[in-house]
Structure 1
Amino acid sequence: MGNILDKPLVLDRIKEYYKLKGNAELARFLGVAPNTITNWYGRKTFDIDVIYTKCVDIDMNWLLTGEGNMLRTESKEENIPVAHPSDSPMEGIPLIPISAMAGAFTGEQTVLEYECERFVVPTFKGAEFLISVKGSSMYPKYNSGDIVACKRLPMGDIFFQWNKVYVLDTDQGPLIKRVKPGSDKEHVLIVSDNERYEPFELPLDRIYHVALVIGVIRLE
């Protein structure tokens, strides 16, 4: 979806805010080809969906008009559900450590051996476990240390919603990634939001368990 600009200030503001030196760095940041940036400047257009997805911490009103607050951190924080600690070992959603992921996917009671903290998250009633994001591969969607709520999916009749974020239990360990169609029916494409991480194909028979990420929460 293209937006007509009076002048290419939007792209300049992005470069200024993220300290990007030139159009080549801007193209890498947005995940588009360098000639796309050239065309956007020349035609005074841009893809609003790409801008919105990549510039998660910039207020869109400021970016488009130069007015208002530069950051949208506060509004983003307000939209994150708050998880309250549970007083009962049988209530709430368990926060699972990486070492217990296999048990979390299968729902086995062995997970309880780790004495997981449990949290009540009214917004995500379908969530079955919580995990902490590690690393920067899903930045800017998720930062390292963010807590995501997950819902287990049956492997017998798995149906991926393309471009959704999933937690995958694989022979490479647990992955939090977007899933897209692979080169054939036996593979899926594993994609990070951080463009510094190259996408790769993964055979379906190397995926042992799957959970859909249904949201990010903030612990109280």
Structure 2
Amino acid sequence: MGNISDRIALIIKEEGISIRAFEQHIGCSNGVISKCINKGTDISSLWVSKIIETFPKIDPKWLLTGEGTMLSPSSAASNSITSSKSSPSIPTACHAPHGSSEGIPLIPLDAVAGFPAESSGGVRLEDCERYVIPEFENKGANFLIRVSGDSMVPLYYSGDLLACRKITDIRFFQWGTVYVLETSQGVLVKRVQESVDHADSILCVSENSSVHHPFLLPRDDIRSLSIIVGLVRLV
């Protein structure tokens, strides 16, 4: 069935995400998969391995050779690669029992800046829902937040749980990366770009840019900053 770039394009279509979101899922630089699909450039074995690792429901033999079907036999039987076309393949989340100290806490949006809680106040961990997701714990995730709104569709949907790791130094950004920013406007999930004309601000960009237009955010309005290390989509 075509070449490997055609099959990668089919995976992206099946997952219902953008090429850029797919690149983020496997951890490669912006444009690597885009060039493979649109220009027919070769893709290294490293990224093929990452695709197989990140999307375990995909049959490796099909991806490499085109033989067979997209879904591995076990996942095809359960039809569980996605519960909807917009849901990417993600690790399984187990809801920890109430009062448990295991797992990653789900922090209310208005309490992100106060997490981790100090003895003087902040969000009470015993009041938080927790999810056991070993893959995200291994990546250093220390809290989850729930997405609200449609500004980051199709990358993230309202109700998605984002696994986040707080950054202590909020002065530096990796341009083009999606961050969780706690500001005076509340918690924002935005792709951050450099503002050439305003050195004291950053440009916050939504994936759903036809509805939510980019805007400038003063650097001194950023109270806390986190990177996203994983996604849980509850369906």
**Mean CA deviation greater in 195-204 or 181-190:** 181-190
Residues in 2 aligned to 1:158 and 1:107: alpha-carbon distance in whole angstroms: 22
Q: 1:179 is matched with which residue?
A: 192
In structure 2, give the amino acid aligned to 1:213: I
CA RMSD of aligned residues (A): 4.1
Task: State TM-score, norm by structure 2.
Answer: 0.59
In structure 1, give the amino acid aligned to 2:131: F
Task: State TM-score, norm by structure 1.
Answer: 0.62
In structure 1, give the amino acid aligned to 2:231: V
Cα-to-partner distance string for 1:49-77 (whole Å, 9 max, x where unaligned): 39x8xxxxxxxxxxxxxxx99xx856875
Q: 2:106 aligns with which of 92, 95, 107?
A: 95
Cα-to-partner distance string for 1:70-90 (whole Å, 9 max, x where unaligned): xx8568756211211224532
Residues in 1 aligned to 2:82 and 2:100: alpha-carbon distance in whole angstroms: 34
In the alignment, structure 2 segments of 5+ residues that lack a partner are 1-12, 14-32, 38-68, 71-80
Residues in 1 aligned to 2:184 and 2:88: alpha-carbon distance in whole angstroms: 37
Alignment of 1:145-164 (within 5 A): 145-155=159-169, 158-164=171-177
Q: Do the aligned partners of 2:105 and 2:125 also contact (CA within 8 Å) in 1?
A: no
Q: Do the aligned partners of 2:202 and 2:216 also contact (CA within 8 Å) in 1?
A: yes
Question: SS at the partner of 1:82?
Answer: coil
1:98 Cα offset (Å)? 1.6
Cα pair distance change 1:114/1:90, threshold 3 Å: closer
Cα pair distance change 1:90/1:73, threshold 3 Å: closer
Q: 1:128 is matched with which residue?
A: 142
Q: 1:84 is matched with which residue?
A: 94
Q: Do the aligned partners of 1:82 and 1:219 also contact (CA within 8 Å) in 2?
A: no
1:113 Cα offset (Å)? 6.4
Q: 2:77 is matched with which residue?
A: none
Residues in 1 aligned to 2:225 and 2:172: alpha-carbon distance in whole angstroms: 10
2:215 corresponds to 1:200: yes
Alignment of 1:1-220 (within 5 A): 49=34, 73=82, 77=87, 79-87=89-97, 89-104=100-115, 106-108=116-118, 110-112=122-124, 115-125=127-137, 126-155=140-169, 158-183=171-196, 184-195=198-209, 196-218=211-233
1:205 Cα offset (Å)? 0.4
Q: Do the aligned partners of 2:180 and 2:187 also contact (CA within 8 Å) in 1?
A: yes
Q: Name the % identity.
A: 44
Cα-to-partner distance string for 1:150-200 (whole Å, 9 max, x where unaligned): 000013x63211111111011111101111111243211100000211101
Q: Do the aligned partners of 1:128 and 1:150 also contact (CA within 8 Å) in 2?
A: yes
Residues in 2 aligned to 1:78 and 1:176: alpha-carbon distance in whole angstroms: 18
How many residues get paired? 170
Residues in 2 aligned to 1:152 and 1:167: alpha-carbon distance in whole angstroms: 9
Q: Do the aligned partners of 1:93 and 1:121 also contact (CA within 8 Å) in 2?
A: yes
Could you say which structure has the larger radius of gyration?
A: 1
Cα pair distance change 1:49/1:107, threshold 3 Å: farther
Cα-to-partner distance string for 1:2-26 (whole Å, 9 max, x where unaligned): xxxxxxxxxxxx9xxxxxxxxxxxx
